[in-house]
Each structure stands twice: as structure tokens, then as C-alpha cells.
């Protein structure tokens, strides 16, 4: 996965509580196991009219937010089912950081496993950031993951907490496969030793 050390960009404001994973990416997009292209289905029900045309009132269809890299969301974002496609769709659209007062535990973990940073802040801080995000392309947010600081468009700095393991994985672009491959030499040594000491486990030719 792509490493994330610093990020600067526009934040799309979506101050809705209890946005579940079906709202983030509906069931018709779950047939694929590919992450590519899922961004087109992100927030499908709110983003498109029944005839498939864009809903101009939805935030991601507004010109200022079409390339948003941050999303400022309401409380309990990502609740509902455990579908990992929700994280895939956000990342494919280009959103690498979501800010909210709380997240569903399963979505929270899925997001980090897919190279996204989720920042938990007090609701009053989220409300202030949402108001600043309404200024569109004139309001740039930035995050420094190493120092764990989110800087708002007005220059205010917000320190956020983050588990050290998740931080390490994001900074180094390590997903679960990459973490396993870091132990490749140890695994190879174990397999060699196991074969030598337990030859009866070796499959016959």
C-alpha cells in the first residue's frame, strides 16, 4: 500500500451522523475483488440521481471537492457491515484521511489496513473544521503523521492520538502481506529447520 507521511489538500464536509458502509459503497459494487474503479460508486445513493446523472447538491459533485483528499464526517462514521470495499472506495476516489469524532471499530481497522488515516477529534473541533471546509478549494488542510498534527486552514493545530503500530504501518506503507514479508528470512529458516527435523512431514514426490 502507499505510505502516508504528509498530506495536504481540500476537505469535503459531510456532517452526517451514522453514515454506514452501505451508504459509503452499496451492495451492487461488492461483486468485485478489485479495488480499482470503486471510487465511482462512492456514496452512490446520495451522489447520483435515479437516472445515473450527478446530483449537483452532493458535496463530492461540487467542483471544489471533486479532488478532495480529506473527508470531515459525522459521529459514528463507517458503522454497519464489515465490508472492506468501503475503505477501498474512499481510497480509490482519492480520500486518504477521514476526520470524525468517532468511527465504527471494524471500519476504523479496515481503513488503516488500506493506507488511510482516520483522525478522532472532539466534536467541537470537528464542527469547527467542518465550517472551515465549507470554504472549498480556498481552504487547505494538512497533516503531518510523524508529529501527529492536523493543521486547519486558519493555522490552528490539532494534535491527535494514534496507535504506534498503525502509525508505523502507514509511515512505511506496510499492509499485512508486507508485514509478513518482513519476516521472510525467519520464515525460510523455520521451514528449512522443520524439513530437516521432521522429514516425515515433507510431501512425497
Which region among 105-119, 146-160, 165-179 has the lowest average model confidence (pLDDT)? Answer: 165-179
pTM here?
0.86
| Cα 136–chain centre separation | 21
- Residues 7-28 have pLDDT tens digits of 999 999 999 999 999 999 999 9
Residue 199, pLDDT score: 66
- Residues 102-131 have pLDDT tens digits of 999 999 999 999 999 999 999 999 999 999
Residue 85, pLDDT score: 95
Helices (H), the chain: 21-24, 44-47, 85-93, 105-113, 123-133, 164-172, 176-181, 184-197
Give the domains, in start order, of the chain with CATH numbers: 6-201 (3.20.19.10)
Amino acid at each position: 500500500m502507499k505510505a502516508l507521511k504528509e498530506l495536504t489538500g481540500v476537505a469535503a464536509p459531510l456532517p452526517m451522523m451514522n453514515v454506514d458502509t452501505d451508504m459509503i459503497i452499496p451492495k451492487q459494487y461488492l461483486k468485485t475483488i478489485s479495488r480499482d474503479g470503486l471510487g465511482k460508486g462512492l456514496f452512490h445513493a446520495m451522489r447520483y440521481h435515479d437516472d445515473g446523472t450527478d446530483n449537483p447538491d452532493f458535496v463530492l459533485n461540487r467542483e471544489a471537492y471533486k479532488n478532495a483528499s480529506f473527508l470531515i464526517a459525522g459521529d459514528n462514521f463507517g458503522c454497519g457491515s464489515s465490508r472492506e470495499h468501503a475503505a477501498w472506495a474512499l481510497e480509490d476516489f482519492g480520500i486518504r484521511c477521514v476526520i470524525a469524532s468517532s468511527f465504527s471499530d471494524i471500519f476504523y481497522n479496515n481503513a488503516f489496513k488500506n493506507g488511510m488515516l482516520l483522525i478522532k477529534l472532539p466534536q467541537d473541533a470537528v464542527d469547527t473544521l467542518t465550517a472551515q471546509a465549507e470554504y472549498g478549494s480556498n481552504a487547505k488542510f494538512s497533516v503531518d503523521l510523524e508529529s501527529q498534527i492536523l493543521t486547519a486552514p486558519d493555522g490552528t493545530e490539532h494534535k491527535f492520538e494514534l496507535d504506534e503500530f498503525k502509525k508505523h504501518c502507514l509511515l512505511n506503507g506496510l499492509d499485512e502481506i508486507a508485514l509478513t514479508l518482513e519476516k521472510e528470512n525467519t520464515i525460510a529458516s523455520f521451514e528449512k529447520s522443520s524439513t530437516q527435523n521432521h522429514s516425515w512431514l515433507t510431501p512425497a514426490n
